[in-house]
Copies of this chain bind each other. A is one copy, B any other.
Amino acid sequence: MKTAPTISIGICGLGTVGQGVWKHIERARPELEARLGAQLVLARASVQNLKKKRDVTLKPEQLTTDPLSIATDPSIQIVCELIGGTTIARQVTLAALKLGKTVISANKALLCAHGPEVFSTARKHGGRFFFEASVAGGIPIIKALREGLVANRFRRIYGILNGTCNYILTRMEREGLAYPVILKEAKELGYAEADESLDVEGWDTAHKASVLAYLAHGTWVSTRQMVVEGITQLTQPDLTFARENGYAIKLLAVIERDLERDVLSVGVYPALLPITKAIANVNEVYNGISVSGDIVGETTYIGRGAGQDPTASAVIGDIIDAASQLVRGGTYLPTAPATKLALTPPAALRSRHYLRLDVKDQPGVLAKIANCTAKAGVSIASLVQRPSEKPEAASLLLTTHECSEAQIRLTVARLARHSCVLGKPLLLRIADF
């Protein structure tokens, strides 16, 4: 009698997600093994603290504090790197790939910082690298881009990739409360990290945008090559203006490829998105991604982007794909040939804009503002004046016609120097997708 092959799995980093993976594999094991025609062995896991209480029960000999010992364990074929960060995670990933093992990763920061090294190590040593969980955990977006939509060139990919920011923006929008108030509550509820800067300044979104851009276009774009702006300057008047004018404000990653000139741009910023777009209606901790292909047109994907269960669902999807390849052969299609597309300089990007200025409530101020924008060739499309929270001041909420990033930045810099302008102007893009 032929015995079923065995696939042995090690988990580096038995935190929230790691425990979810362990738990759900145990639950779904009979069906998964029947479909795979193989036994799944949860072999070992690494932790920081051996004594901490966990959701899942492991024998003492299955636990280690040394993740590298799992990465290099000859009995383990699939290594899940769920440690995070770019130091130990990088060591673990490279060590396993060098031994020709399969690595499953949820680590967008590692990919963004060391993607080319990870992929070339895998190629050189016959290792396999899977990373569905690194972007928008609950949404099988990487599989969609790499396989389902393989016939397409992607004109535009944009979406909400950070659940924490979307949760904060949704609550600001619904409850009319200020950013610091909601941030504090989000921290108390565990929806935001103690140090929230990675999320709210846009860096987590930028890491994910980098991974998606590589997948879709074969080009690694570092966060230094992107415009990256966060949500910390947004106020209620901005949200109200957006709503009243048919928009929602969302922190977007935007990856655009001009198929005619074959240049790429990647940016992360809060933008006014028409409420008619599905992405504008993605709320709370959900992520949403719109993918426009030259053949398929626009497709949209929505799901929870982080948290134990959605991320575990993605990691297990990768584990089963990997196990299936180990049992039945095959490899996934390589990503698009690394063409090293040229990047559009951020200054050359064109958009309509929204601008909020607090100004002294005096005669002649409007004329000064209008002069200043006109000089830079920026044309005002709409203007409303509202009472400001500051004394003897007014808020001016402007929208512009399309102009370049260089023009609008020059305008804002000049406006900020005007004595009648109080504080720093807020500039947002209007995403007329």
Contact = CB atoms under 8 A, between A and B. Distances in A.
Interface in A285-315: 293, 295-304, 309-310, 312-314
Among the interface residues A303, A312, A331, which one has the most CB atoms of the partner chain B within 10 A? Answer: A303
Contacts of A190: none
Contact of A321 (B147, B298, B300, B337): B147
A125 interface: no
A24 interface: yes
Q: How many copies does the complex hold?
A: 2
Given A281-B278, A329-B330, A317 B149 contact: yes
A316 B298 CA distance: 17
B334 A331 contact: no
Among the interface residues A278, A282, A293, which one has the most CB atoms of the partner chain B within 10 A? Answer: A278
B317 A325 contact: no
Given A296-B304, A300-B301, A147 B317 contact: yes
Nearest to A30: B337
Chain A, interface size category, equals 35 or more
A300 B303 contact: yes
Interface string A28-55: 1001101110000000000000000000
Contacts of A150: 32, 35, 316-317, 320
B297 A138 contact: yes
Interface string A132-162: 1000001110011001111111000000000
11 contacts: A28-B153, A35-B337, A138-B296, A140-B149, A144-B148, A150-B320, A297-B310, A299-B301, A301-B301, A320-B333, A325-B330
Closest 5 CB pairs of A and B: A330-B330, A140-B148, A329-B329, A299-B303, A151-B316
Given A296-B313, A330-B331, 9 more contacts: A24-B151, A132-B148, A149-B313, A149-B317, A278-B278, A298-B303, A300-B303, A320-B333, A324-B330
